[in-house]
Structure 1
Amino acid sequence: MEWLAASDYWLGRLVFQRGLAVIYLVAFLSAAHQFRALIGANGLTPVPAYLRLVSFRSAPSIFHLHYSDRFFAAVAWSGVALSAAVLAGLADLVPLWGSMLLWAVLWVVYLSIVNVGQVWYSFGWESLLCEAGFLAIFLGNRQIAPPVLVLLLLRWLLFRLEFGAGLIKLRGDRCWRDLTCLYYHHETQPMPGPLSWYFHWLPRPLHRIEVAGNHVAQLVAPFGLFAPQPYATLAAAIMIVTQLWLIVSGNFSWLNWLTVVLAASVVDWSMILASPAPAPAALAAPVWHDALVVAVTTLVVVLSYWPVHNLLSRHQLMNASFDPLRLVGTYGAFGTVSKVRVEVVIEGTDEPEITADTQWKEYHFKGKPGDPARHPPQVAPYHLRLDWLMWFAGLSPIYAEPWFIPLAVKLLENDRATLRLLAGNPFPDTPPAFLRARLYSYRFTTWRQRRATGAWWDRDLIDEYLPPVRLQRLS
């Protein structure tokens, strides 16, 4: 079945596979470092309790067979090791079936983590990684030419990702239609980065150009992905440039990097590189592999009914999976843009009684805004899951319902695993006697304020979020 082979895209496949291995590596590191505090047996939302509520059919995961923190750690660190091995080229050194097995193990293991991750793994880039990881199983290695059908499925994934994001913006906040959303977004996005302050203070006409450029990248360019070359490369290049702009202006975990990696599979690298390396000698793909590729393509086409229906619906969902294996999902982001940044600030005191003169010490997080003088850090592509959920908690207490009180309990106990998620512990010797949370509005300082104070943020107290509580009351 020679028509299935796309020999000219061997370099695009190489870039995609190596890039995907890097993202897998980061994702497994994030899981290994943070799971005990978030979803461990004594975490904020423990996996064992969750597994008692869901069936294997609704949330397929190897952890239905067995769960312990030690087992989860072994699985996550095995994912780190396997990702690193694939990044180093192991998948190209083994037979085709061995390469497929390596990619399949990565997919099964990460899907297993996502399906028990609950609210901490509810972000679109989790399903996106699962979907891209599934397609990578069938992309082959250097022993065969890239299968054209799998390359088309990657383009279909990229199309749904970008076009879905574009549609949800047009259907959502009016500021996307009047080109003013970027007046606010750089300041109110979940986790600003080192350059977000500078992006926020760009001239407003440039912000309008940013929004218009975003519409072109998400509503026009996706159709070019299915055009002949060089137009497909041009469409992919527009998306890559847009994603790089987002990477330098904020922290969105590996969403933007994975989008870049997907777009790289579309690029005809022979057009760009002055002296492209010759394609490696490839054998004809075995019949069983061609049959699998055709079967997977048919499956994705059938499962695409619901994502397409969602794209055409006036009640479009932003990020959703329609099957428990997360094979074909729907994507989108920032259908609504916050106009004011609201942050939950947690404080504690070791004083035995609360008075008007009580001294409160603030807990600082690794990524989210807290101390107005601290420069927003670069975090992405790493994902600080608690920091992201704290942003949602500021939007509404409903988002914090399953985990915020357990978080307060852990801080009142000086729980080591939980404190490792934070930038520091203001009570290193003994736990605080009381804990409280307050709601602040945050604004980027102006150029004049920054020169005068050195601060990146200006904040005002809005309200009490959690009144002073002690451990005995919450236990």
Structure 2
Amino acid sequence: MDWFTAPGYWLGRLVFQRALAGVYLFAFVAAALQFRALIGAHGMLPVPRYVRYVPFRRAPSLFQLRYSDRLFSGCAWAGAAVAAALAAGAGDLVPLGAAMGMWALLWLLYLSIVNVGQTWYSFGWESLLLEVGFLAVFLGNARIGPPVLVLWLLRWVVFRVEFGAGLIKMRGDSCWRDLTCLYYHHETQPMPGPLSWFFHHLPKPLHRVECAANHVTQLVVPVLLFTPQPVASYAAGIIVATQLWLVLSGNFAWLNWITITAALPAIDFTGLTGAPPPAAARAAPLWFVVLVCAVTVLVLVLSRHPVLNMVSRRQVMNRSFDSLHLVNTYGAFGTVGRIRDEVVVEGTAEPVPREDGQWREYGVKGKPGDLRNIPRQFAPYHLRLDWLMWFAALSPGYARDWFGPFVERLLAGDRDTLRLLRHNPFPDAPPLYVRARLYRYRFTTWRELRETGAWWHRTLLREYLPPTRLAEASWSEPE
């Protein structure tokens, strides 16, 4: 069946599989290290409570059948171990069926986590990892050539990621159309990186070039993925380069890395390097051919809703249309903020809280806090609390479900919650009161940085949560 495989793309498949396993590894490690405070049995949004009200058909997961923190931890670390093995090349050392089983296990374990993760796992890159991970099950290993149909399905994923994001920008904020969005974006993005301050201070004409290049990369280049080689390779290369630019300019968990990973199989590495395919590769077995054809038909059928969403004037971002996250719709930054507000959480040990009392600030890992701390690089690792704190500053409605439980755990000195923070100002005993205040943050200028050593400047806006003690730690939206 010469039509079924493309042996020349063996190197692209190898790079793709190693990179995807690496992304899976970050995802599982992040889940293992953060879940107890977020969704554990005693977490802010406990899985046992969630599965009591959400049926299996709406959120299929192994944890619908049974949950314990020990089981969740075991699944997360098992996923990390399998991902590490696949990153090291274990999938090419076993029979085809065994390799497919390893990839399927990763997909099943991570699906089980995402489907009970609630708000903490509501990001588009979760669905993107699951969609790409599902297709990886059917990409084969070194014993057969890469299936042509799956290679095209991966291009279809990249097309929807880029083209969908491009459309929602053009339909959304006017600053994308007048090429001014990047005047603000590097400063107001959810989690700036160590170079974001410098990106923000680039000349405005260069920001306009960035914006125009983004439109070309997202609205024109993805179409070229479906053209003959070498044009498709050039298109994939442009997408990879653009995603690396985004990696340098901010922290977006593994969104950029999984997009790069999915684009790699479109590059004809063999044509570029002249490396011959492995001699061990042979014809695909009939059962595998039938299975890949069936999966291709399934993906095409499920693509109906994402395509209708893309062409709709009411296009939405980051939506899954099936509970298995097999074919999804994507998009980012249809609206760009012009200002940056941050929720700063403080505690005091004083028995009577006073406005001018001794309040100590909790340090955070990724989002802005201390004015003299330059933003750090965390991506592709995902700091879920930091991301949700950014949303909480946009609107208290985004924090309705979890902010009260978060404050309760600070007042109780919960170790798992404190591990999510950069700095605990109460190492000996928890505070008696906790409050939250809303600040307006902005990057300092070159002159301010030289004079003060501060990367940020902030101004107090208002109270976000009044002083609260443990018996009172219930959350209601401020008026």
Same fold (TM over 0.5): yes
- 1:281 counterpart residue number: 280
- 2:151 counterpart residue number: 151
- Give the Cα separation in 1 of the matches to 2:335 and 2:355: 39
- Give the Cα separation in 2 of the matches to 1:459 and 1:148: 54
- Give the Cα separation in 2 of the matches to 1:37 and 1:11: 41
**Could you state the TM-score of these two structures normalised by the residue count of structure 1?**
0.99
- 1:234 counterpart residue number: 234
State the Cα distance separating 1:278 from its structure 2 match: 4.4
Residue 128 of structure 1 pairs with residue 103 of structure 2: no
- 2:170 counterpart residue number: 170
**Could you state the TM-score of these two structures normalised by the residue count of structure 2?**
0.98
- Give the Cα separation in 2 of the matches to 1:174 and 1:270: 43
- 2:303 counterpart residue number: 304
Aligned partner of 2:124: which letter? G
- 2:82 counterpart residue number: 82
CA deviations 1:353-379 (Å, max 9, x no partner) are 123431110001111100011010001
Residue 17 of structure 1 pairs with residue 17 of structure 2: yes
- 1:161 counterpart residue number: 161
State the Cα distance separating 1:277 from its structure 2 match: 5.3
- 1:412 counterpart residue number: 411
- 1:383 counterpart residue number: 382
- 1:95 counterpart residue number: 95
- Give the Cα separation in 2 of the matches to 1:209 and 1:356: 47
CA deviations 1:84-142 (Å, max 9, x no partner) are 11111111111000010000000000000000000000000000000000000000000
List gaps (5 residues or longer) in structure 1: none
- Give the Cα separation in 1 of the matches to 2:330 and 2:279: 35
**Secondary structure of residue in 1 paired with 2:347:** strand
- Give the Cα separation in 2 of the matches to 1:92 and 1:371: 47
CA deviations 1:398-451 (Å, max 9, x no partner) are 000000010000000010000000012101111101110000010000000000
Residue 471 to residue 90, structure 1, CA distance change in 2 (3 Å)? same
Aligned partner of 1:31: which letter? A
Given that residues 365 and 423 in structure 1 are in contact (C-alpha distance below 8 angstroms), is that contact kept between their aligned partners in structure 2? Answer: yes
Given that residues 10 and 277 in structure 2 are in contact (C-alpha distance below 8 angstroms), is that contact kept between their aligned partners in structure 1? Answer: no
Percentage identity across paired residues of the two chains: 65
- 2:119 counterpart residue number: 119
Given that residues 166 and 332 in structure 1 are in contact (C-alpha distance below 8 angstroms), is that contact kept between their aligned partners in structure 2? Answer: yes
Q: How does 1:340-379 map to 2 (within 5 A)?
A: 340-379=339-378
**Secondary structure of residue in 2 paired with 1:52:** helix
- 1:5 counterpart residue number: 5
Residue 337 of structure 1 pairs with residue 336 of structure 2: yes
- 2:188 counterpart residue number: 188
- 1:62 counterpart residue number: 62
Aligned partner of 1:258: which letter? I
RMSD: 0.9
State the Cα distance separating 1:279 from its structure 2 match: 3.6
Aligned length, in residue pairs: 474
CA deviations 1:332-365 (Å, max 9, x no partner) are 0000000000100000000111234311100011
Given that residues 8 and 279 in structure 1 are in contact (C-alpha distance below 8 angstroms), is that contact kept between their aligned partners in structure 2? Answer: no
- Give the Cα separation in 2 of the matches to 1:310 and 1:260: 24
- Give the Cα separation in 2 of the matches to 1:355 and 1:75: 46
**Secondary structure of residue in 2 paired with 1:438:** strand
- Give the Cα separation in 2 of the matches to 1:86 and 1:208: 41
Given that residues 154 and 262 in structure 2 are in contact (C-alpha distance below 8 angstroms), is that contact kept between their aligned partners in structure 1? Answer: yes
List gaps (5 residues or longer) in structure 2: 475-479
**Secondary structure of residue in 2 paired with 1:440:** strand
Given that residues 8 and 271 in structure 2 are in contact (C-alpha distance below 8 angstroms), is that contact kept between their aligned partners in structure 1? Answer: no
Given that residues 191 and 367 in structure 1 are in contact (C-alpha distance below 8 angstroms), is that contact kept between their aligned partners in structure 2? Answer: yes
State the Cα distance separating 1:2 from its structure 2 match: 2.0
Given that residues 103 and 133 in structure 1 are in contact (C-alpha distance below 8 angstroms), is that contact kept between their aligned partners in structure 2? Answer: yes
- Give the Cα separation in 2 of the matches to 1:427 and 1:14: 49
Aligned partner of 1:306: which letter? H
Aligned partner of 2:184: which letter? Y
- 2:52 counterpart residue number: 52
State the Cα distance separating 1:270 from its structure 2 match: 2.6
- 1:318 counterpart residue number: 317
Aligned partner of 1:199: which letter? F
- Give the Cα separation in 2 of the matches to 1:198 and 1:396: 28
Given that residues 142 and 280 in structure 1 are in contact (C-alpha distance below 8 angstroms), is that contact kept between their aligned partners in structure 2? Answer: no
**Secondary structure of residue in 2 paired with 1:359:** coil
- Give the Cα separation in 2 of the matches to 1:110 and 1:418: 22
- Give the Cα separation in 2 of the matches to 1:374 and 1:32: 27
- 2:445 counterpart residue number: 446
State the Cα distance separating 1:64 from its structure 2 match: 1.1
- 1:470 counterpart residue number: 469
Residue 71 of structure 1 pairs with residue 51 of structure 2: no
Residue 26 of structure 1 pairs with residue 26 of structure 2: yes
- Give the Cα separation in 2 of the matches to 1:215 and 1:387: 29
- Give the Cα separation in 2 of the matches to 1:286 and 1:13: 18
Given that residues 110 and 130 in structure 1 are in contact (C-alpha distance below 8 angstroms), is that contact kept between their aligned partners in structure 2? Answer: yes
Residue 110 of structure 1 pairs with residue 110 of structure 2: yes
State the Cα distance separating 1:77 from its structure 2 match: 0.4
Given that residues 233 and 268 in structure 2 are in contact (C-alpha distance below 8 angstroms), is that contact kept between their aligned partners in structure 1? Answer: yes
Given that residues 7 and 277 in structure 2 are in contact (C-alpha distance below 8 angstroms), is that contact kept between their aligned partners in structure 1? Answer: no
Aligned partner of 1:355: which letter? R
CA deviations 1:209-244 (Å, max 9, x no partner) are 000010011000000000000100111011011000
State the Cα distance separating 1:281 from its structure 2 match: 3.1
- Give the Cα separation in 2 of the matches to 1:193 and 1:422: 17
State the Cα distance separating 1:280 from its structure 2 match: 3.8
Given that residues 6 and 148 in structure 1 are in contact (C-alpha distance below 8 angstroms), is that contact kept between their aligned partners in structure 2? Answer: yes
**Secondary structure of residue in 2 paired with 1:435:** strand
Residue 392 to residue 280, structure 1, CA distance change in 2 (3 Å)? farther
Given that residues 8 and 277 in structure 2 are in contact (C-alpha distance below 8 angstroms), is that contact kept between their aligned partners in structure 1? Answer: no
